[in-house]
Amino acid sequence: MQKPFCTQIDFLTYFQEAVIIILLRKLGWFYSVKKKSQQNFTTKFQNNYQLNLLFLYLYHKILSMTITQLKYVLAVAEYKNFTLAAEKCFVTQPTLSMQIQKIEDELSIQIFDRTKKPIQLTDIGQKIVTQAKNIVNEADRIQDIVEQQKGFVGGEFRLGIIPTIMPTLLPMFLNNFIKKYPKIKLIIEELNTAEIITKLNNGHLDAAIAATPLMEEKIKEIVLYFEPFVAYIPENHHHFEKEEIEVSDLNLDEILLLQDGHCFRDGVLNLCKNGSKNEVNHFQIESGSFETLIKLADEGLGTTLLPYLHTLDLKEADKLKLRHFKEPKPAREVSLIYPKSELKIQIIDALRSTIAGVIKGAIVFQNVQIISPVSKK
């Protein structure tokens, strides 16, 4: 009887076993390890000659196809340009091209159609990129598991924050966070929601703070707080005398909006969905800052809506022009969002707990109606 390979070659370590399990699962071939099975994975390999051959084949592929090479493939797939992908990977373009060509030669397929501009994935290339993302994520998870086991909370963490949240929330928690977790190198980017989703899916962000719900299949959301909309009404406006206003009081023709791309703008439009836009206006303006909208409102050019936290820093004279909505108050849901792979979850948990600790004293509203931040075109 043929002696099993794994009894002859003593290299089936726990790490290699884990990698093989990952690959087999991703390829749809994994059936040996089940919860009901009392035998370990190594024993099953030793008792199955065909699986021994499969192991040796996959082990060879692991050695010859490195994680770095897969990252090169993912970079070209994202940027659709070898030169730009090489810059993003901090290698020369010939080095990147050679490594990708090596993978294609080993697999006897073409991942990229180089005849098209920009470069496009082939049909098989699209499937390989999908699997490459999974494998790279699983490889990153190994280090993550080790750090969690050691109780280590540190390293680089890339956080995206939308523009209408960044100036008010960030100063509230950043100082506390970096003092409590000095080993974390926090890299923060101000990005709109569409950019955040793209970067989370491409692995260029670890987490983000944004208005939700976004209903993105690959992204998890942890609600941090609910932030009401507050109306800013100048003294010469007919609603200025009201102590509280209702959604039905809003006139979309009068509301000064943030420019397109801001989810707060989309939230206002969704709130005023029953209103109508007058096509004949003396002017049309969309700004990127609440400060500009407030100044225009003070000039008698309309009203505007602000997120509650933004109103806390207004001058006392300007606060007299704020009008809260009757309950249930329209509000946006603000969440910490991150990929479902849950890499660096210990840092995500640290971030959530820090923000929760500082925000509970500022946001006390309970009876709210959540307004979707997603554009409804």
Say if CB 260 and CB 286 are below 8 A apart. Answer: yes
Say if CB 214 and CB 206 are below 8 A apart. Answer: no
Q: Identify the CA nearest to 212 among candidates 234, 230, 201, 197.
A: 197
Within 10 Å of residue 205's Cβ, how many Cβ atoms? 23
* HSE-CB of 289 using CA atoms within 13 angstroms: 5
Residue range 153-225+334-364 in CATH 3.40.50.300:
no
Q: Identify the CA nearest to 314 among candidates 163, 166, 168.
A: 168
Buried b / exposed e along 334-370 (16+ C-beta atoms within 10 A): bbbbbbebebbbbbbebbbebbeebbeeebeeeebeb
Residue range 67-149 in CATH 1.10.10.10:
yes
pLDDT at 213: 93
pLDDT digit string (tens) for 158-178?
A: 999 999 999 999 999 999 999
Within 10 Å of residue 292's Cβ, how many Cβ atoms? 15
pLDDT at 140: 75
| Domain 227-331 in this protein, CATH class | alpha beta
Instruction: State pTM to two decimals.
Output: 0.70
Say yes or no to pLDDT of 337 above 70: yes
Q: In whole numbers, what is the pLDDT of the chain averaged over residues?
A: 80
